[in-house]
Amino acid sequence: MSMHTPVLDPVVTAPYGFRSDSGQKTFHNGINFISRSGDTRVFSIARGRVIQDIDQCTPVMSHVQRSPWSGNVVAIEHEIDERRYYALYIHLLSTDIPDNLTVQPGFELGRYAEQSAGMVGPHLHLTILNEQGDVIDPTPLLVKSGIPAHPAVA
C-alpha cells in the first residue's frame, strides 16, 4: 500500500473523537493536521479520483460542513487495501482541480487556508468516510500507513 502524508512533516493538532469545547462535549469527525515546517500544501494520501461535484456524491455531501469557516473542500474517492473510502480535505484555499482526475499518493491538492475564523488556527481537517458514507475513525488506517494520527507530544 502506497500512501503519503496529507501535509509535509505532519503534526496532529486535534484527533478524531469527542472533545470538550469550552465545557460543551462535541464530536470531531476527522483529524486536524498542520505541518511542523509551516508548509501549507495539502497532498492526496493515496491513489484516488477527484470528486469535484460533491453535491452529486451522496456518501460525501451530507458530511461536508457548509459553514463559512470550512473554506473549500476537495473530495477524493480512494482505494486503499482494495477498499473504497471517501476523504474530505477541508479548509483549503481553492479547489481548482479537474473533476474525475486520477491522482497518485502525494499529488498536491492545494494549500490549507492561512486564515481561519474558528477558535483553532489554520490547519487541514481530514475526514474519511467508508464506502457506505459513514464517517470512520481514520486513525487505524493512517497509523497502519505510517502517517501520524495521534496528537504530537510537545
Binding site for Zn ion (CB under 5 A): 32, 125
Nearest residue to the partner Zn ion, using Cβ: 125
First CA to last CA across the chain, in angstroms? 30
Closest by Cα among 34, 106, 117, 36 to 76: 106
CB of residue 96 vs Zn ion: minimum separation in angstroms?
Answer: 23
- The residue (of 32 and 44) whose beta carbon lies closer to Zn ion is 32
CB of residue 98 vs Zn ion: minimum separation in angstroms?
Answer: 26
Number of H helices, E strands in the chain: 2, 12
- The residue (of 26 and 56) whose beta carbon lies closer to Zn ion is 26
CB of residue 6 vs Zn ion: minimum separation in angstroms?
Answer: 12
What span, in angstroms and rounded, lies between the C-alpha atoms of 123 and 52? 21
